[in-house]
Chain A
Amino acid sequence: MKRRTFVLLTVTGAVSMTVPFTGCGRGNAALIAALARPDVLSRICDVAAIGQIGAAYRAQTPSEARRDQLTELLLANLGLPMADKGKKQTVGIDETRLPKLLEEKIRDDYAGGRIVIIKGWVLSITEARQSALYSLGLQ
Chain B
Amino acid sequence: MHIDARLLPGDTLIEGDICIVGTGPAGLSIAMEWNHTPYKVILLEGGGFDYDDQVHDLYAGKTTGQRYFPLKSTRLQYFGGTSNHWAGFCSPFDPLDFEKRDWVPHSGWPIRKADLDPFYARAQKILDLGPYEYDVAYWQKKDPALRSLLPDNPAIWNKVWQFSPPTRLGQKYGADVRQSKNIHLYTYSHLVDITANEQVTEIERITVRNLAGGQHTVKAKRFILACNSIQNARVMLAANKQAPRGLGNDNDLVGRYFMEHVEIKSAWLHLLTPDPLKLYLLDFGITKMRCELAISREMQEKYLTLSGTASFFPSAQARNFKPSIDTWTDADPRKNEDYMKRNMAATHQGNVRHMGAGDTIFMLKTRIEQAPNPESRVTLDTEKDALGMPRAILRWALTPFEKRSIRKLYELIGQQTGLAGVGRVQLMEYLQDPSDDSWPEFTSGGWHHMGTTRMSDDPRTGVVDGNGKVHGIANLFVAGASCFVTAAAPNPTLTIVALSLRLSDHLKRLAGIKG
Rounded to whole angstroms, the CA-CA distance of A117 and B408 in the bound complex is: 11
- A121/B426 contact (C-beta < 8 A), A43-B272, A44-B270, A115-B411 known: yes
Query: Could you say which of A40, A43, A119, A122 contacts B411, with CB atoms under 8 Å apart?
Result: A122
| CB of B130, distance to nearest CB on chain A (Å) | 34
* A115 close to B432 (CB less than 8 A): no
- 1/0 per position for B414-432, CB-CB distance to A under 8 A? 1111110101111111011
- Interface: A123 (CB within 8 A): yes
- Interface: A113 (CB within 8 A): yes
The listed residue with most B CB atoms (<10 A of its CB), out of A43, A110, A115, A122, is A122
* A107 close to B431 (CB less than 8 A): no
* A122 close to B415 (CB less than 8 A): yes
- Interface: A135 (CB within 8 A): no
- Interface: B396 (CB within 8 A): no
- A122/B272 contact (C-beta < 8 A), A107-B421, A111-B419 known: no
- A120/B427 contact (C-beta < 8 A), A115-B414, A115-B415 known: yes
Q: Give the chain A neighbours of B432 by CB distance below 8 A.
A: 117, 119-120
- Interface: B410 (CB within 8 A): yes
- Interface: A124 (CB within 8 A): yes
- Interface: A41 (CB within 8 A): yes
* A123 close to B424 (CB less than 8 A): yes
| CB of B431, distance to nearest CB on chain A (Å) | 7
- A110/B415 contact (C-beta < 8 A), A43-B272, A119-B432, A122-B410 known: yes
Q: Give the chain A neighbours of B419 by CB distance below 8 A.
A: 107, 110-111
| CB of A41, distance to nearest CB on chain B (Å) | 7
* Chain B residue at minimum C-beta to C-beta distance from A106: B418
Rounded to whole angstroms, the CA-CA distance of A110 and B411 in the bound complex is: 11
Query: Could you say which of A40, A107, A113 contacts B424, with CB atoms under 8 Å apart?
Result: A40
Interface residues of A, CB < 8 Å — how many? 18
* A40 close to B272 (CB less than 8 A): yes
Rounded to whole angstroms, the CA-CA distance of A107 and B420 in the bound complex is: 8
Rounded to whole angstroms, the CA-CA distance of A122 and B409 in the bound complex is: 11
- A41/B426 contact (C-beta < 8 A), A115-B415, A122-B415, A122-B418 known: no
The listed residue with most A CB atoms (<10 A of its CB), out of B270, B410, B429, is B270
Q: Give the chain B neighbours of A110 by CB distance below 8 A.
A: 415-416, 418-419
* B431 close to A44 (CB less than 8 A): no
Q: Give the chain A neighbours of B418 by CB distance below 8 A.
A: 40, 106-107, 109-110, 115, 122-124
Q: Give the chain A neighbours of B417 by CB distance below 8 A.
A: 122
- 1/0 per position for A91-117, CB-CB distance to B under 8 A? 000000000000000110111010101
Query: Could you say which of A40, A41, A44, A113 contacts B415, with CB atoms under 8 Å apart?
Result: A113
| CB of B137, distance to nearest CB on chain A (Å) | 24
- 1/0 per position for A113-139, CB-CB distance to B under 8 A? 101010111111000000000000000
* B424 close to A41 (CB less than 8 A): yes
Q: A1-56: which residues lie under 8 A (CB-CB) from chain B?
A: 40-41, 43-44
Q: Give the chain B neighbours of A119 by CB distance below 8 A.
A: 426, 432
* Chain A residue at minimum C-beta to C-beta distance from B417: A122
Q: Give the chain A neighbours of B423 by CB distance below 8 A.
A: 40, 44
Query: Could you say which of B272, B411, B413, B421 contacts A44, with CB atoms under 8 Å apart?
Result: B272
Q: Give the chain B neighbours of A43 by CB distance below 8 A.
A: 272
Query: Could you say which of A109, A115, A120, A123 contacts B431, with CB atoms under 8 Å apart?
Result: A120
* Chain A residue at minimum C-beta to C-beta distance from B431: A120
- 1/0 per position for A61-85, CB-CB distance to B under 8 A? 0000000000000000000000000
| CB of A80, distance to nearest CB on chain B (Å) | 22
* A120 close to B424 (CB less than 8 A): no
* B427 close to A44 (CB less than 8 A): no
Q: Give the chain B neighbours of A122 by CB distance below 8 A.
A: 410-411, 413-415, 417-418, 424-427
| CB of B278, distance to nearest CB on chain A (Å) | 22
Q: Give the chain A neighbours of B425 by CB distance below 8 A.
A: 121-122
* Chain A residue at minimum C-beta to C-beta distance from B413: A122
Rounded to whole angstroms, the CA-CA distance of A110 and B156 in the bound complex is: 14
Q: Give the chain B neighbours of A40 by CB distance below 8 A.
A: 272, 418, 421, 423-424
* Chain B residue at minimum C-beta to C-beta distance from A118: B432
Q: Give the chain A neighbours of B427 by CB distance below 8 A.
A: 117, 120-122
| CB of B403, distance to nearest CB on chain A (Å) | 14
Q: Give the chain A neighbours of B424 by CB distance below 8 A.
A: 40-41, 44, 121-123
- A120/B429 contact (C-beta < 8 A), A40-B272, A44-B272, A110-B415 known: yes
| CB of B92, distance to nearest CB on chain A (Å) | 29
Which 9 pairs from chain A and chain B are nearest by CB? A122-B414, A110-B419, A120-B427, A110-B418, A44-B270, A120-B426, A120-B432, A122-B425, A121-B426
Task: List 18 interface pairs A-B (beta carbons < 8 Å), by A numbering.
Answer: A40-B424, A44-B270, A44-B272, A107-B419, A110-B415, A110-B418, A113-B415, A115-B411, A117-B414, A119-B432, A120-B267, A120-B428, A120-B429, A120-B431, A121-B424, A122-B411, A122-B418, A122-B427
Query: Told that A40-B424, A117-B432, A122-B410 touch, could you supply 9 new A-B pairs with CB distance under 8 A?
Result: A41-B424, A44-B423, A107-B418, A111-B419, A115-B414, A119-B426, A120-B426, A121-B427, A122-B426
